């Protein structure tokens, strides 16, 4: 019998190929032909799974988000259970920064995605939904930590949420060697120490 093709597996393999092209050559070089070459499939085969470069990028970003969630879940297995909200925020932040190969690949994809979304209204809307969902998740974590007494109740929830998200701004500084990984981690730890009360 002919071998059954796992369509999800093939789409994920193409997404990985796109990540590699973006990481090694940059988004402008990530043409469908170049990604097909990297994925070792024909251009026609790639177009069978993705009708356009935008469709390919959108799936690759959705897959990247899934991979980041998996990395966060694995990271939390290494802390006390149930995890303290400070530990959750630290793991989430560090997985969003280009501090190891997997995170670096998805970080560069994120940068490409944002740049493309600035000039594509449909992609902009999709990207905005994803970013708002991420912000809502951080806000929910901080709200719960405040309710449980881990963070002082007089803190401003919206401002603290935005300050946490602003720490992901280390990404270009890390990528360009302006800030060292240990310095970025030290800044994250100091911010979290200030956010969480001694009583936590």
DSSP string, 182-195: HHHHHHHHHHHHHH
- Identify whether 29 is part of a domain: no
- 193 prior amide bond cis, ω within 30: no
Q: Is the dihedral of CA 74, 77, 156, 172 positive or negative?
A: negative
- Identify whether 5 is part of a domain: no
DSSP state at residue 79:
S
Q: Domain span at residue 62?
A: 53-195
The answer on pLDDT for 199 being more than 60 is no
- Identify whether 114 is part of a domain: yes
- Identify whether 6 is part of a domain: no
Q: At what angle do helices 53-76 and 121-147 cross, to 10 degrees?
A: 20
Cβ atoms of 110 and 134 closer than 8 Å: no
pLDDT at 200: 41
Q: Determine what percent of the chain is predicted with pLDDT higher than 70.
A: 96
The answer on pLDDT for 38 being more than 60 is yes
pLDDT digits (tens, 9 = 90+) for 140-198: 999 999 999 999 999 999 999 999 999 999 999 999 999 999 999 999 999 999 999 76
CATH (domain of 93): 1.10.357.10
- Identify whether 10 is part of a domain: no
Q: Which of 131, 188, 141 is nearest to 161 (CA)?
A: 141
CB atoms within 10 A of CB 108: 20
Mean pLDDT, the chain, as a whole number? Answer: 90
pLDDT at 64: 86
- Give the count of domains, the chain: 1
- Identify whether 182 is part of a domain: yes
The answer on pLDDT for 111 being more than 90 is no
Query: What's the rounded Cα separation, in Å, for the pair 180 and 117?
Result: 29
C-alpha pair distances (Å), 176 with each of 28, 49, 179, 181 = 18, 34, 8, 11
- Identify whether 26 is part of a domain: no
Q: Which of 133, 185, 194 is nearest to 163 (CA)?
A: 194
- Identify whether 200 is part of a domain: no
- From first CA to last CA, the distance across the chain in angstroms is 61
pLDDT digits (tens, 9 = 90+) for 67-86: 888 999 998 998 888 999 99
Query: What's the rounded Cα separation, in Å, for the pair 98 and 177?
Result: 11
Q: Which of 17, 117, 15, 20 is nearest to 60 (CA)?
A: 15
pLDDT digits (tens, 9 = 90+) for 12-30: 999 999 989 988 888 888 9
């Amino acid at each position: 019998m002919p071998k059954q093709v796992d369509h999800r597996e093939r789409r994920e393999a193409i997404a990985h190929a796109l990540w590699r092209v973006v990481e090694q050559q940059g988004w402008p070089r990530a043409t469908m032909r170049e990604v097909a070459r990297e994925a070792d499939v024909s251009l026609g085969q790639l177009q069978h799974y993705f009708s356009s470069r935008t469709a390919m990028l959108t799936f690759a970003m959705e897959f990247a988000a899934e991979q980041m969630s998996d990395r966060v879940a694995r990271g939390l297995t290494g802390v006390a259970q149930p995890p303290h909200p400070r530990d959750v925020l630290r793991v989430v932040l560090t997985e969003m920064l280009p501090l190891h190969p997997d995170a670096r690949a998805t970080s560069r994809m994120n940068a490409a995605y944002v740049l493309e979304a600035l000039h594509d209204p449909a992609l902009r809307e999709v990207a905005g939904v994803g970013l708002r969902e991420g912000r809502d998740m951080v806000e929910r974590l901080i709200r719960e930590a405040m309710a449980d007494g881990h963070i002082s109740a007089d803190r401003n929830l919206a401002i603290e949420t935005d300050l946490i998200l602003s720490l992901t701004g280390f990404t270009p500084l890390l990528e360009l060697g302006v800030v060292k990984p240990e310095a970025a981690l030290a800044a994250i730890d100091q911010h979290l120490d200030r956010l969480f009360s001694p009583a936590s």
